[in-house]
A and B are shown apart, each in its own frame.
Chain A
Amino acid sequence: MSSQTTSGAVTEHSEHYDEVGTRLGFWLFLFTELFLFGAFFIVYLVYRTTYLPDFQTASNQLSTVIGTTNTIILLFSSLTVVLAIHYMRKGIKKMALTFLSITILCGLAFLVIKSFEWGGKFDHNLFLQLRGNIEQGLGSPLLTPGSSEMLPMGQVLFFGLYFIMTGTHALHIIIGLIWMSVLWVWIYQGKLKTDRAGILENGGLYWHLVDLIWIYLFPLFYLIA
């Protein structure tokens, strides 16, 4: 917690930087993310139990290899961010920067793989279409009612959930990558104090959250059958 800056008749005021309090506050923020994705998972579970065969068929169209690879990449990046923070706390900047770089690269790799994965889906005519376009008859088989190529309802719901949930997850990876990159620059420039490393700790926690969500997304989307 930084000190208030004041002007006028009031004297400057020094105080403790409450690192535990900052971390406690950030954990509370992480809970909100849990509940955000929790709502998505409720929707997923409701439709999975309603349309199990469709979900199984649709899940088979996702590549388990790609999913497993991405899982391992994220788990590894969680390890490297732990090490980066560990070395930062010890003041060994070079190691910290190395591990932070690996984390960022892993995140980028995840996104690249995911974009190839989504591209593959688009090639198979599986994509979300804008409502306006559908009304003009430009639907995808996913969404055009009455089309002979229309997927069964359960599969439509599966892919809708797939794109939106992995998309939201990818958005969080992007935010995490921006955060990690800013930290990288600050550490490199010596702007990050080891006794005020809250923003580094919290960045690590955020990254682990992103990993946590994927730990549930992976089996629920890729490993149903």
Chain B
Amino acid sequence: MNSNNHTNSMDQHSSTVAASVVVFVLLIILTIATVVLSGMNISSMGALLIAVAIATIKASLVALFFMHLHYEDIIFRVFFVFAIFALAGIFLLTFSDYAFRS
């Protein structure tokens, strides 16, 4: 691993104004979608999953494009996935208790 690599990876891409606006529009569409879907008659577990799924798509858009994760060195994405994996793990394991209490 080249530890003396100080090149600014940000210079190599140009986060065009247009691209950012496109992402913004997608985020608004997804926001409207989540509001509309919440009004519909779905099971509560289904509603929760859909809401979290849409929120996750929105969050991914913000992280990848607004926060430039897509354009950074791969180590940033590795770190991020690792942290999400740990977070998901503690959620799941906590629910191994609560979901199975009699």
Contact = CB atoms under 8 A, between A and B. Distances in A.
B6 A20 contact: yes
Contact of B59 (A79, A201, A215, A225): A215
A219 B59 CA distance: 13
Contacts of A16: 6
Q: Is the interface of B mostly helix, strand, loop or mixed?
A: helix
B62 A219 contact: no
Interface in A189-212: 201, 204-205, 208, 211-212
23 contacts: A16-B6, A20-B73, A23-B72, A23-B76, A31-B80, A31-B83, A35-B83, A38-B90, A48-B48, A49-B99, A50-B98, A68-B31, A72-B31, A75-B24, A79-B20, A212-B59, A215-B55, A215-B62, A216-B52, A219-B38, A219-B51, A223-B34, A224-B47
A216 to B, nearest CB: 5
A204 B28 CA distance: 20
Interface of A: 16, 18-20, 23-24, 27-28, 31, 34-35, 38, 41-42, 45-46, 48-50, 52, 56, 64, 68, 71-72, 75-76, 78-79, 82-83, 86, 89, 201, 204-205, 208, 211-212, 215-216, 218-220, 223-225
Nearest to B9: A20
Contacts of A72: 28, 31
Contacts of A19: 6, 8, 10
A225 B52 CA distance: 14
B38 A27 contact: no
Contact of A28 (B10, B17, B79, B99): B79
